[in-house]
Amino acid sequence: MRDLPQSRRMREIAQESALFGRRSFQEHANQATRSLVGMVLDYFSHTEYRPNPYQVEKDRFVFFGLIRCREWMVIPAGIIIQFCYGSVYAWSIFNAPINSSLEPNPNRGGAEITFYIALGVLGFTGAIFGPWIESSHPRKSGTIGMLVFYSGHLTTALALFVRRMSLLYFGYGFVAGFGLGIGYVSTIEAVSKWWPKARGAAAGCAVMGFGGGSLAFSYINKLLLQHTNLPATFFILGSVNFVVMMFCLQFIAPPPPGHNLDGIPMVNGKDRIRLRGEDCEVEDGKQSANIHSLAASLPAVKMPLAEALRSRDFWLLYIAFMSNIVFCLVVLSNLPSMISRLFGAESKAAKDPPIPAYIAVSIEGGFNMFGRVMVGLLSDNIGRKATFLILLLSQIVILIFLPVTVNNGSFWGFLVLVWIATICYGGGFGMIPAFLSDMFGINNMSSCHGIILTGWSIASICGGLAFTSSINAHIKHGGKPYDTRIYFINFMWMLVLVIIGFVCCLFVRSSIRDRLFPALPGQIMRMRIFGRVFRVLWTFDSARRDDGECASASPTENSRVCLRLGKSSRHLHFEYLDKEEEQVEWEEYLMLRAVQNRLLQEPNN
């Protein structure tokens, strides 16, 4: 009995120790979680390359310090690097020989999945490594991307030699896709920063090489397959690309500090802003000598990455971008099989198509390349949003008429529509870097570009696998390869997705005026249509005149087109403002911001 109090005390000590241990473990776990979150936030907060004076002086020369760097040099170097990376677009040439070599049933289409995996990994790699790419020297990130891309080719050659489809997915899908994501984003970022006044055309020229890779490598791949086997083909392709990219990377360097001014406002068209008696001309996407005179009243286009990613405009643009590319992503990897099954040897007529499939793929690559430059240049002149709406609207029309050409057996009608859609596809890639740079700042371009490329990944994986799986399931259950119904079903869900993207793009506030314009009381929505603001809002009887007309305190009230619906105390109000009315409201807002900033800067009395 004498041991009982001592035993009780020991149990109490043991319980206190266990409770302390649990609390200590929980505190350490919470601290580790906070530390991890802090590291992630810190990583995504540093998106600016800050070289030291020695590095700035060193970057004045390229090619091992032998040639003085000029801004035009980065464009041909970027085009050739992207050309090598664009060899992935010619993957469809390898589908049939790889399926015949590795698959017991070549009609199952296992090789096509490799293309989807590669593009899927590309997007997520760009999203994860975007801040690191932005804050690193472009030659460093480009070299790492090139080495990993080459490793993917070597692994692919090994997979084909040992006949392992899973190793093929890992080698070309994951490893090469990882290097592709780093190299693709870093090259475009380097080229765009050298040409701040023509970012659309500069980025379009860079990604033109990516589209050109499909044009050239469809012939190169065909030629190599005729003279050697599959493993040797990938070893030769990887080795040649490695040497060419290593040479071109020596001409890649960042622009000197101050080459890109912070705070370039995005305004649709050319506007004159009158503020405090000053006339300041602001051009969309272009630097202005008077840009800093608006610093007190016009917020700068320089924001943290987290703020950019929280913006609804970014995610609306994300959906629009993904919708713009899903159709051609499916066609790029399946065009030879579609031609064969709908118009060629596997069709109901069992005849040769008018032109071989590899020539059609090459021409498609040419339109892809043309679209990247043309659309980027067009966006520099008519605006990013207007250009993107044209691309989406064109694809809606194409997807409506494409089933008609297939049903009528019109081979050339089918190809022409596909080639036009390819211009829209390439154009989206050509202008999206400039679009993001204009909206969220040059220092966030790589990070935002990398994240938006995950839409490329999702469209590749989900869209591509949905199309391939539906075709394979149709054939597995006794359907004929030339049955057009399964293709029409796929065209319909693509059409719905493109329509959704078009609507989302309508709501993107691409200019600083649209993004900073305060919402009116009761406002439901606002968008810009053909350069004019369209608003929908709830109004009450107090805001209505006796004659039933729209009430407005503005002297230009008669210039707006408006409509009210409803007979109760609350009315649905539609407004379509003209340029003069919008300008008055914008100047009133700027004056209020200027007064607010002055009051905040005055010392408290």
Residue 108: predicted pLDDT: 63
Least-confidence region, from 397-406, 550-559, 566-575: 550-559
Report pLDDT digits (tens) over 112-158: 889 888 988 888 898 888 888 888 889 999 999 999 999 999 999 99
Query: From CA 201, how far away is CA 380, in angstroms rounded?
Result: 7
pLDDT score for 161: 93
Q: Cβ–Cβ contacts within 10 Å for residue 326, how many?
A: 27
Give the model's confidence band at 572: pLDDT under 50 very low, under 70 low, under 90 confident, else very high: confident
Q: What is the pLDDT of residue 105?
A: 64
Taking phi over 0 as left and psi of -120 to 50 as alpha, with beta for the rest, 409 belongs to: left
Residue, of 447 and 176, whose pLDDT is higher:
176
The more confidently predicted of residues 281 and 385 is: 385
Residue with tokens 């713009």: 324
> What would you measure as the largest C-alpha separation in the chain, in angstroms?
104
Q: pLDDT grade, residue 171 (50/70/90)? A: very high
Token representation of residue 156? 């692919």
Find the helix or strand (DSSP H, E) in which 561 lies: strand 561-565
Percent of the chain predicted with pLDDT > 70? 77
Distance in angstroms (rounded) separating the CA atoms of residues 196 and 272: 22
Q: 302 is written with which tokens? A: 């320089």
- Are 323 and 232 a contacting pair, CB within 8 Å? no
Better-predicted residue by pLDDT, 101 or 263: 101
Max mean pLDDT among 184-198, 309-323, 326-340 falls in: 309-323
Rounded to the nearest integer, the mean pLDDT of the chain is 78
What tokens were used for 122? 């590309």
* Predicted local confidence at residue 83, as pLDDT: 92
Is the pLDDT reported for residue 254 higher than 50? Answer: yes
Q: According to the model, what pLDDT value does residue 382 have?
A: 85
Residue 157 confidence (pLDDT): 95
Place of tokens 């630097």: 287
pLDDT at residue 109, as a whole number: 63
Pair 322, 416: CB distance under 8 Å: no
How far is Cα 84 from Cα 184, in angstroms, rounded to an integer? 10
Query: CA distances (Å), 262 to each of 133, 215, 450, 537, in order?
Result: 19, 38, 21, 35
pLDDT for the residue 284: 39
- Those residues whose C-beta lies under 8 Å from the C-beta of residue 59, and which sit 6 or more positions away, are 51, 69, 253, 254, 256
- Taking residue 215's Cβ as centre, other Cβ atoms within 10 Å add up to 22
Buried b / exposed e over 284-316, threshold 16 CB at 10 Å, is bbbeeeebeebeebbebbebbbeebbebebbbb
Inform me whether the pLDDT recorded for 376 exceeds 70. yes
Distances, alpha carbon 517 to alpha carbons 187, 279, 586, in Å: 35, 20, 7
Residue-wise pLDDT for 416-474, tens only, equals 999 999 999 989 988 898 888 888 877 788 788 888 888 888 887 888 888 888 888 88
In the numeric block, the tokens 């006794």 are attached to: 478
